[in-house]
Structure 1
Amino acid sequence: MTRFHSLQNLPATVAKPGYDRDAAGIGIVHIGLGAFMRAHLAVYTDDALAAAGGDWRITAIGLRSRDAIDQLNDQNGLYTLLVRDAETAGRVIGSIADAIHAPSDPEAVLAALAAPSTRIVSITITEKGYGIDPATGGLDVNVPAIAADLASDLSAPQSAVGLIVAGLAQRRAEGTGPFTALSCDNLPENGHILKRLVLDFARRRDGDLADWIEANASFPATMVDRITPPQTEKTLADARALVGADDRAAIETEPFSQWVIEDDFCAGRPAWEKGGAVMVTDVRAYERMKLVMLNGTHSMLAYAGHVAGHKFVRETMADPDLKRLIDRHMRTAATTLDAVPGIDLDQHREALLARFANPTIDHPTYQIAMDGTQKMPTRIFDATLAAIDKGTDTQSFAFATAAWMAYVKGAIDGAYAIRDPREAELLSVARSAASPEALLNALFALPGFVPDALKSHDVFRKTVLLRLRVMLEDGMRAAITREAAAI
């Protein structure tokens, strides 16, 4: 079948970009060309271009695999977005102009970053891509890509932070002016974290450059939300049927989408609000709500669900006992929150439960379970401390913590890979722990992982241990049943 590469002859049932792609220049460089970016930022940008125009198309940068790069370039940047609900709707996104594989063409990447037309550099690289030292919150100079960039002349940066610093350094030298660095990852105060890491990196090389970046560039915080499962053969088959051509870059997602953005851009921005984005002065209440209600619940159900044999999130919602635990976790998480402007938390919880149960979305629990040492502190441990401070029950957070530990222990026989930046360390601990108590103590002792206030909280430790014993001795299924019966 012919490869999808043109907007010509598309069926009337498929929506296409509502603007002249050739007339819209490039204003955004995006680092991290994954499915989420294509289901979120690229879609909001597509809508903004259709509503308000402007030179805001995107050059996408891939740091590792070049598969997605080649797929998009072979298709003139076009791809199908499938929105899964009772019926599947198809839409072609045109906001990506081109894509560059950084390891293969570093000169082109730096040229894109330094181009006067580039006003925003956005990133979706997941938590582990930032190079955060878990002990200090600063730059981890032992991360191979960070270490290589610090030791180099930055002519071919390997890390996202290195790329941003290299681009800003060249713009300063050429008098081009700064760009806005925009994090779109699930990190609390992600813009502030990115700024801290960029300045840390820059100061290790050039103090004057760091001062210039701090004074001129901007790093807005954002809260992003849209469930985007990995591409499957069904994704490709459904896209092929909709557009009448072979679309290897097609992705699928859910109907819901949310983007809350701190409106702090030093060089302008697209009219993202025209696509439904919410522009605010402070994102923190929204991002905390998402981290503890959606992301935290996702982590809990992913560890418990995966170990119990549930492949997809929708399967956990079809398990009556686990569904009760999912609902309990969201309710408990909501009690740790202050008021969120414009949000009714009970209605938000009901909407989340409906999203999780969407029968057309194959969101793997194993995908959510990866990178636990990066996710547990912000999704579970911070919420636990907030619950303790507010006098709220912590049993659901204890269950989530125990489920993560059981997930780690379950990997020692090779049944699955943990897929965590500290995987070797976790497996070593799990293999040497002869009892549930030994496992808990060793995992709690991991450097830069569990907050000191939680490590020393005897009641919480005992609550976790009680559940971990059941999971390891009687199995996750028994633990889920027993936990649900106690609610």
Structure 2
Amino acid sequence: MRLSNKFLQSYRGTATLPQYDRATVAPGILHIGVGAFHRAHQAVYIDSLLKKSPEWGLIGVSMQNANTRDALAPQDGLYSVGIREAGDMSVRVIGSLMSIQQGGDAAIAAISDPRIRLITLTVTEKGYVNVGNINALGQTLVAGLAARAQNGAPPISILSCDNLPDNGARTKALVVATAQLQAPEILRYLEQSVSFPSSMVDRITPATNDTDRIDIQTMTGFEDAWPVITEPFSQWVIEDKFAAERPDFQSVGAEVVDDLAPFESMKLRLLNGAHTTMATLGPMLDCKYVSEAALDPDLAALIERTAKTEVFPTLTQPNDELNSYWLSLMERFRNTSMQHALAQIAQDSSQKVPVRLVPPIIENMNAGRPAPGLTLAIAGWIASIRQAERQGKQIFDPNAQILKNIANLSVTEMIAFLCAPGAQLDTLREMEAVQRDLAKHVGSIESNGARSTIQQTLSEL
């Protein structure tokens, strides 16, 4: 039978069910971007919270397509989370999503609802980028906040949960810039009644496939059109900067801190940086999943030595804490129960590389330290674009057309283009030594192969 409120009333299977009466839940949070990660992360924390705080139910809005809404509406918003580890899986049914709606108008209506006191976002890096002079997220938020101000609704906080440094400030800048053009009359309201805390989120969540659906149904006895699969580990660190009341996040395992920057940098540069390195170089070594890449002796050595010699020195945590974190990362990467596709991670790399890999290169170079491992990771991305274009493969990236147009240039010309002002690697435009190393690595990958190039770089680390 299909998962639903009615079905749960008589369910006696192995899945863990919501520990509260869904009929008593009231909306308090709007989430924009109801993808797999949100459903494996924030919605799970909120599900745990609703037992004692039913006033913080979730309203979800999908901005891109109606797939999630259409899959979960017949299930009353219910879905299952399968947690995989060492060949085993446990399943939990999540009930925190009260409804999933579609499109900007639905988001605007929810923002103006006085019951909503918190907006959370997972729109990915590209959601913050203008298309032309337009940013759909900014326009939606400003339109909703303008309606909210007009309605006299109470203060509200907007909490970005995307993998961006200082994502709260990034969201605020987007909203203020849009308001200046679209609704300057609400600028004072934004200053007085809206806050933009940052957050750091972490839980590896691969795309769901048909095997996952079958495994869930076999184990639980119910049909779920769109479950999510994830790992046991989960972390949510939130800046304590709210305009009004907030959920008691600490009571369900999240951390609320005054200074988010150390957590943010550690995760972006170590976990996400390693992910991007494996995603660009791994397929050249015939690796399809993160676990395969992390078990490849050369690639594993590269990400570990790069982390310890090039990334650790740019972070503020003591080395014993960083070493402990790195050991836990490698254990998570090598979880063979998780089929986390490298192709999934490689999508939108033009938005990820400048955030995950470029800043520690700059900090190393300014400190007089070379960064061959990080440079090779970026070279892997460049080489993968060139390879995809030669082989006629699709590039999944918001800048795909630009990347295709430059992929057939010479290596040095392509790197010069990427490092030009306003381009993806423009912060490296003054670093000629880095550009030369990028060209050397790309040339080596194309002439000698990725494995030989990795082995040569390991001799320099």
Say if 2:274 is the partner of 1:316: no
**CA displacement at 1:414 relative to structure 2:** 4.0
> SS of 1:55's equivalent?
helix
Corresponding residue for 1:423?
400
Corresponding residue for 2:378?
401
> SS of 2:407's equivalent?
helix
Determine if contact 2:291/2:340 at 8 Å carries over to the other structure.
Answer: yes
Cα distance in 1 for partners of 2:451, 2:386 equals: 16
Cα distance in 1 for partners of 2:391, 2:69 equals: 32
> SS of 2:339's equivalent?
coil
Deviation larger for 322-331 or 218-227? 322-331
**Gap change, CA 1:227 and 1:293, over 3 Å in 2:** same
Cα distance in 1 for partners of 2:269, 2:276 equals: 10
1:328-477 aligned within 5 A: 328-331=305-308, 332-339=310-317, 344-431=321-408, 433-434=409-410, 436-445=411-420, 447-452=422-427, 454-477=428-451
Cα distance in 1 for partners of 2:320, 2:246 equals: 26
Corresponding residue for 1:10?
11
1:47 corresponds to which letter in structure 2? S
Cα distance in 2 for partners of 1:23, 1:398 equals: 54
CA offsets 1:287-331 (integer angstroms, 9 cap, x no match): 111111111111111100123321111111221111101211221
Say if 2:72 is the partner of 1:97: no
Cα distance in 2 for partners of 1:213, 1:307 equals: 48
Corresponding residue for 1:66?
66
1:339 corresponds to which letter in structure 2? Q
Measured on the aligned residues, the alpha-carbon RMSD in Å equals 1.8
Cα distance in 2 for partners of 1:316, 1:115 equals: 46
Say if 2:214 is the partner of 1:264: no
1:449 corresponds to which letter in structure 2? Q
1:165-204 aligned within 5 A: 165-204=142-181
Cα distance in 2 for partners of 1:182, 1:241 equals: 37
Cα distance in 2 for partners of 1:141, 1:101 equals: 21
Determine if contact 1:4/1:246 at 8 Å carries over to the other structure.
Answer: yes
Corresponding residue for 2:43?
42
Q: Name the % identity.
A: 34
**CA displacement at 1:243 relative to structure 2:** 2.6
**CA displacement at 1:31 relative to structure 2:** 0.5
Corresponding residue for 1:113?
111
Cα distance in 1 for partners of 2:234, 2:369 equals: 30
Deviation larger for 22-31 or 463-472? 463-472
> SS of 1:88's equivalent?
strand
TM-score normalized with structure 2 length: 0.95
Say if 2:456 is the partner of 1:482: yes
Question: Please, which of 189, 193, 203 is the counterpart of residue 216 of structure 1?
Answer: 193
1:469 corresponds to which letter in structure 2? G
Determine if contact 2:205/2:230 at 8 Å carries over to the other structure.
Answer: yes
Aligned residues: 457
Deviation larger for 459-468 or 27-36? 459-468
Determine if contact 2:29/2:58 at 8 Å carries over to the other structure.
Answer: yes
Determine if contact 1:293/1:329 at 8 Å carries over to the other structure.
Answer: no
**Gap change, CA 1:14 and 1:141, over 3 Å in 2:** closer
Cα distance in 2 for partners of 1:446, 1:426 equals: 16
**CA displacement at 1:413 relative to structure 2:** 2.5
> SS of 1:84's equivalent?
strand
**CA displacement at 1:415 relative to structure 2:** 4.5
**Gap change, CA 1:109 and 1:458, over 3 Å in 2:** closer
**CA displacement at 1:238 relative to structure 2:** 1.4
1:307 corresponds to which letter in structure 2? M
Cα distance in 2 for partners of 1:311, 1:197 equals: 36
CA offsets 1:260-288 (integer angstroms, 9 cap, x no match): 00112223222221221000011111111
Corresponding residue for 2:83?
83
Determine if contact 1:179/1:217 at 8 Å carries over to the other structure.
Answer: yes
CA offsets 1:367-391 (integer angstroms, 9 cap, x no match): 1111122111111111111122333
Corresponding residue for 2:132?
142
Cα distance in 1 for partners of 2:432, 2:53 equals: 58
Determine if contact 1:15/1:90 at 8 Å carries over to the other structure.
Answer: yes
Runs of 5+ consecutive residues of structure 2 not aligned to the other structure: none
1:122 corresponds to which letter in structure 2? T
> SS of 1:279's equivalent?
strand
1:476 corresponds to which letter in structure 2? A
1:49-60 aligned within 5 A: 49-50=50-51, 52-60=52-60
Determine if contact 2:418/2:426 at 8 Å carries over to the other structure.
Answer: no
2:50 corresponds to which letter in structure 1? L
Runs of 5+ consecutive residues of structure 1 not aligned to the other structure: 132-139, 147-158
Cα distance in 1 for partners of 2:321, 2:140 equals: 40
> SS of 2:357's equivalent?
helix
2:73 corresponds to which letter in structure 1? N
Say if 2:212 is the partner of 1:238: no
Determine if contact 1:10/1:244 at 8 Å carries over to the other structure.
Answer: no
Determine if contact 2:421/2:429 at 8 Å carries over to the other structure.
Answer: no
1:55 corresponds to which letter in structure 2? E
1:14-25 aligned within 5 A: 14-25=15-26
**CA displacement at 1:485 relative to structure 2:** 4.9
